[in-house]
Structure 1
Amino acid sequence: MEKVRYGTTDLDVSVVVLGTWVTGGWAWGGSDERDSVTAILRALELGINFIDTAPVYGFGKSEQIIGKALKEWGNRGDVVLATKCGLEWDEKESIRRNSSPERIFYEIDQSLKRLGVDRIDLYQIHWPDPSVPFEKSMEAFIKLKEQGKIRAIGLSNFNVEQLRGCLDAGPVQSLQPPFNLFEREAEKELLPFCLENGVGTLVYGGLCRGLLSGKFTGDEQFPRGDLRRADPKFKPDRFKQYVKAVDEFRKIAARYHRTPAQFALRWALQQPGVTAVIAGARTAAQVEDNAGVSGWRIEPNDLQTINDILARRIKTPVGPEFMMPRQ
Structure 2
Amino acid sequence: MEFVTLADTGLRLSRVGLGTWAIGGGWWGPSDRQDSYTTVRKAIDLGITTLDTAPIYGFGLSEEVVGQAVKDSGRRDQVIIATKAGLDWSNNQVVRNSSLPRLTQELEDSLRRLQTDVIDLYQIHWPDPVEPIEETAAFLGQLFKQGKIRAIGVSNFSPAQMDRFRQVAPLHSAQPPYNLFERDIEADVLPYCRQNGIHTLMYSSLCRGLLSGRMGPETTFAAGDMRSGIDPKFTEPRYSQYLKAAAELTQFAQERYGKTLPQLAVRWMLDRPGVSVALWGARKPYHLDAVAGLWGWSLDEAAMQTIDRILQTCIPESIPPSFMAPPVRAA
User: Unaligned 5+ residue runs, structure 2?
Assistant: none
Q: Percent identity?
A: 47
Matches within 5 A, 1:113-132: 113-132=112-131
- SS state at 1:51 partner: strand
Question: What letter corresponds to residue 286 of structure 2 in structure 1?
Answer: A
- 1:308 CA drift (Å): 0.6
User: 2 CA distance for matches of 1:146 and 1:8?
Assistant: 13
- Give the match for residue 2 of structure 2: 2
User: 1 CA distance for matches of 2:283 and 2:174?
Assistant: 24
Q: Does residue 223 of structure 1 match 2:261?
A: no
- Give the match for residue 57 of structure 1: 57
Task: Provide the aligned length of Structure 1 versus Structure 2.
Answer: 326
User: 2 CA distance for matches of 1:131 and 1:211?
Assistant: 35
8 Å Cα contact 1:55-1:62 kept in structure 2: yes
Matches within 5 A, 1:1-327: 1-90=1-90, 92=92, 94-229=93-228, 230-254=230-254, 255-327=256-328
- 1:91 CA drift (Å): 5.4
- SS state at 1:120 partner: coil
Question: What letter corresponds to residue 323 of structure 2 in structure 1?
Answer: F
- 1:8 CA drift (Å): 3.5
CA shift digits 1:22-81 (9 cap, x unpaired)? 111111112111111111111111111000000000000000011110121012101000
User: 2 CA distance for matches of 1:286 and 1:292?
Assistant: 13
8 Å Cα contact 1:181-1:264 kept in structure 2: yes
- 1:221 CA drift (Å): 3.1
CA shift digits 1:194-251 (9 cap, x unpaired)? 0111000001000000001121113433222101120110001100100100111111
- Say which is worse superposed, 175-184 or 24-33, in terms of deviation: 24-33
User: Unaligned 5+ residue runs, structure 1?
Assistant: none
- SS state at 1:246 partner: helix
User: 2 CA distance for matches of 1:75 and 1:251?
Assistant: 39
User: 2 CA distance for matches of 1:112 and 1:257?
Assistant: 43
- 1:292 CA drift (Å): 2.5
- SS state at 2:253 partner: helix
- SS state at 2:13 partner: strand
8 Å Cα contact 1:23-1:36 kept in structure 2: yes
- 1:181 CA drift (Å): 0.3
- SS state at 1:288 partner: helix
- SS state at 1:315 partner: coil
Question: What letter corresponds to residue 78 of structure 2 in structure 1?
Answer: D
User: 2 CA distance for matches of 1:203 and 1:7?
Assistant: 16
CA shift digits 1:273-309 (9 cap, x unpaired)? 1101001112222112134223320121111001111
